[in-house]
Structure 1
């Protein structure tokens, strides 16, 4: 290269986007808005050893050992378009506060995956299909298919009782964010225990009642997937349609 011909790039920090790629961010800043989200939320007893194996050592497991699974389809979102999602976790405490520690998430769009990983640290993976369907029996079937033909979770719930929105409890989620070292070191470049509170408001039907139902349910999981916490007994099941805003979270601990 001839002397004096070097030209520095123009993409300085003042022009960086808020996420990668720095020259053209893949999603806008939050908060992110969700409209017409349809979901089944299941609470169930699970195996203590399985729960302890996925729980960070800074958190304490709640007993009796309680797991949860949410299977939802977001018909509109500003984060990842319309997409399906499933996440599981266990009830645990950190410094005396209760959290739903979330160990596994599958989604069906790339933006939903990258946003969740980059901002909070959810260990999201891609799924082929996540759907909720009302059967001719009136039951709601929720299916999680990671690879074509590979159904890893199937829930069947019968909506039996219309519930007020007040029965929904605000439970912050906790997640372990790990960013690997670019030089290949054994220690991560960044590790944080983070939390976020995702609050949904059930829709109201034409009759003014909240679109929230409780009922009986069954749940079967395949042990080969990440959403594989053993299901001993389903103790609570809800079906709802909601609107929600997803905010930024907070750091509980930096390692």
Structure 2
């Protein structure tokens, strides 16, 4: 390969056959099952990076099914998203943990935005005739089970669209150098764009989290389930921006302290 060709075509690994296409990515009929629960305030604060702030011990456990995604195909994911206050004093979300069953979005999500994705076996389906069921298995062990009454009460679609599209989302992106030191350590901000909500419902729900050494979702324990909702929507995962550079701020701090 010539140097010019490398610079022109290289955007992802491996160069000769990237694990994912170029973004952005469009999701059609993306299905969310979100259980909001009260957890332990100290435990939640311990996993949310500064300068984001936690005011309440609330965690959103999400099961998501993506049957039609440009470049990624049909897959599922699950994980924990924490409501926070960002540097501008606005309500936002911080994605703490994610578990997927598809290589492309794991690689692309981690390398581009810094999504905290690991390979596992999540699922989202309807059980029997009246129960929405979300599960997570890691290495053959059940880690999470969520259930909800199927389409019990309709929710306002415009309000749910605003909740998906108008809120800033944050990630902690870490990429090592070839010598094992940290090359990139950034707080990344991103948004969902062009959101269309096809349906939204709430209903009675339950959530169980089980201890696992490599999928520690139970480290944010369930004290009380607050509410649950089921949303079907189309949306685009937009490109992100660096909201805070931890390495740059560290260098500035060292200069100030000299």
TM-score by length of 1: 0.86
Count how many residue pairs are aligned between Structure 1 and Structure 2.
235
Query: In 2, Cα distance between the equivalents of 1:90 and 1:98?
Result: 11
- 178, 191, 197: which is aligned to 2:191? 197
Q: Shift of residue 147 of structure 1?
A: 2.0
* Cα shift readout 1:205-250 (whole Å, capped 9, x = no counterpart): xxxxxx2111110000112223222111121211122211111011
Unaligned 5+ residue runs, structure 2? 247-258
- 188, 196, 205: which is aligned to 1:217? 205
Q: Shift of residue 136 of structure 1?
A: 2.3
For 1:70, the equivalent position in structure 2 comes to 62
User: Matches of residues 54-203 of structure 1 in structure 2 within 5 Å?
Assistant: 54-63=47-56, 65-95=57-87, 96-127=89-120, 129-148=121-140, 150-158=141-149, 159-168=151-160, 169=163, 170-185=166-181, 188-199=182-193, 200-203=195-198
Q: Shift of residue 137 of structure 1?
A: 4.6
Correspondence 1:231 to 2:227: no
Unaligned 5+ residue runs, structure 1? 1-8, 204-210
Query: In 2, Cα distance between the equivalents of 1:77 and 1:51?
Result: 31
Whose radius of gyration is greater, 1 or 2?
1
Q: Secondary structure at the match of 2:18?
A: coil
Query: In 2, Cα distance between the equivalents of 1:194 and 1:67?
Result: 20
* Cα shift readout 1:95-123 (whole Å, capped 9, x = no counterpart): 11222111101110000100110011112
User: Matches of residues 19-30 of structure 1 in structure 2 within 5 Å?
Assistant: 19-30=12-23
Task: Note the aligned Cα RMSD (angstroms).
Answer: 1.7
TM-score by length of 2: 0.85
More helix by share: 2
Query: In 2, Cα distance between the equivalents of 1:77 and 1:24?
Result: 19
- 9, 12, 26: which is aligned to 1:16? 9
* Cα shift readout 1:179-211 (whole Å, capped 9, x = no counterpart): 1121123xx1111000111254222xxxxxxx2
Query: In 2, Cα distance between the equivalents of 1:163 and 1:239?
Result: 9
Runs of 4+ with deviation above 4 angstroms: none
